Amino acid sequence: MRRRNIKKIFKLIQKFYKNILPQLPQKSTNRGRPRKYSDVLILSLAVLKELLGLSFRETLEIGTMYFNKVPSLRDFHYRVLQLEEIIKHLINFIHDTLQCEIESIIVDGTGIGFKKHTTLNWMRGTYVRQIKNHVRCEVVLTKGKYKLFQYVEVGKAYSSEIKLLKKLLKKIELKGKKFIADKLYDVKWLREYLKKRGIKEVIKIRKRAIGRKEVDYEEYKERNEIEGLFGNIKTKLGGYVYAYREDMARIQALIKFLLYNLYVAYIFLFTKLCIDITNFIEIHIKIYKFYIIPCKIRKNA
């Protein structure tokens, strides 16, 4: 994520948010005071926080450089907690807008840590082991013209990835030529789901599987690409979020995946603009060669 024009990222968020408005659940406006700050502003500030690795207070201070008015610390924290569905819809909408001719669907899970400590259910001697808590992210990556996240589902620490995938598939429909995953996803209902949709399964079989062939390694090694993306995101945006509460950690984890899709969208729009400019220049060079230059020759003659 070398190119980091923050103002253009804010414009992209505003553009995509307008398109997903009809898909969002409508909330009752009969109770409570009207909102002073839009969801776009709150989401832009949350993206700025995660992009630069800031605290909530620092985000509001730097936010005054980009926006005329920013919310109070209390309002900002409260409104960020309500963004989960909006972020999921944005990730999916950016994918559906940019992606075409999907070759491969790659599914895997990863964990994003946060500050709260949790105790394990087993003891080592008289010591109950404590570890840093995390949220489990179930991610669907598609490969076509671009590599994009189609959807991300978030759960508690050590959540079952199969259950998260089942929950995820109720919200989206998989489309592509092949489905790549490790042997954790070698379950009957998923194989039937893929067969109904005509998607080739490239799932590593479990040891006790009988009567099924092992997957082709050349196809299966594409799964390394999602692991590489997880590594890039955690290297550049951090594999850890500064949150004490699980619900806030879920939001900040989702923003990391949203930022990747926004980055791809930014490059797509930038390259498209460059292509349009070069086409415009080429057309005008042709006009100059075939029309303007002969006219000059005639005048000189």
Query: What is the tens place of the pLDDT at every residue in 163-178?
Result: 999 999 999 999 999 9
Band the pLDDT of 31: cuts 50, 70, 90.
low
Structural domains of the chain, count: 1
The pLDDT value recorded for residue 27 is 65
Please indicate, yes or no, if residue 222 is contained in any of the structural domains.
yes
User: Tens digits of per-residue pLDDT, 33-55?
Assistant: 778 888 999 999 999 999 888 89
What share of the chain in percent tops pLDDT 70?
79
CATH of the domain at 108: 3.30.420
What do you get for the CA distance between the two ends of the chain, in Å?
Answer: 57
Please indicate, yes or no, if residue 183 is contained in any of the structural domains.
yes
Please indicate, yes or no, if residue 44 is contained in any of the structural domains.
no
Write down the pTM of the prediction: 0.84
The pLDDT value recorded for residue 289 is 46
Please indicate, yes or no, if residue 290 is contained in any of the structural domains.
no
Closest CA to 229 of 139, 144, 124: 139
Report the amino acid identity of residue 257: F
Report the amino acid identity of residue 102: I
Q: What is the mean pLDDT of residues 52-71?
A: 91
Structure tokens at 29: 């406006």
Q: What is the mean pLDDT of residues 251-260?
A: 94
Containing structural domain, residue 138 = 97-251
DSSP strands (E only) in 4-96: none
The pLDDT value recorded for residue 4 is 61
CA dihedral 128, 133, 138, 144 (to 10 degrees): -130
The answer to which of 97-101, 146-150, 181-185, 267-271 has the lowest mean pLDDT is 267-271
Q: What is the mean pLDDT of residues 217-231?
A: 90
- Residue 209 pLDDT more than 70? no
Please indicate, yes or no, if residue 21 is contained in any of the structural domains.
no
Please indicate, yes or no, if residue 33 is contained in any of the structural domains.
no
Name which residue leads in pLDDT, 293 or 193. Answer: 193
Please indicate, yes or no, if residue 76 is contained in any of the structural domains.
no
The pLDDT value recorded for residue 295 is 45
The pLDDT value recorded for residue 212 is 72
Please indicate, yes or no, if residue 265 is contained in any of the structural domains.
no
- Residue 12 pLDDT more than 80? yes
* CA distances to 117, 260, 279 from 234, in Å: 20, 11, 38
The pLDDT value recorded for residue 297 is 44
The answer to which of 11-25, 53-67, 166-180, 280-294 has the lowest mean pLDDT is 280-294
Band the pLDDT of 293: cuts 50, 70, 90.
very low
- Residue 139 pLDDT more than 90? yes
- Residue 257 pLDDT more than 90? yes
Mean of pLDDT over the chain: 82
The answer to whether the CB of 21 falls within 8 A of the CB of 43 is no
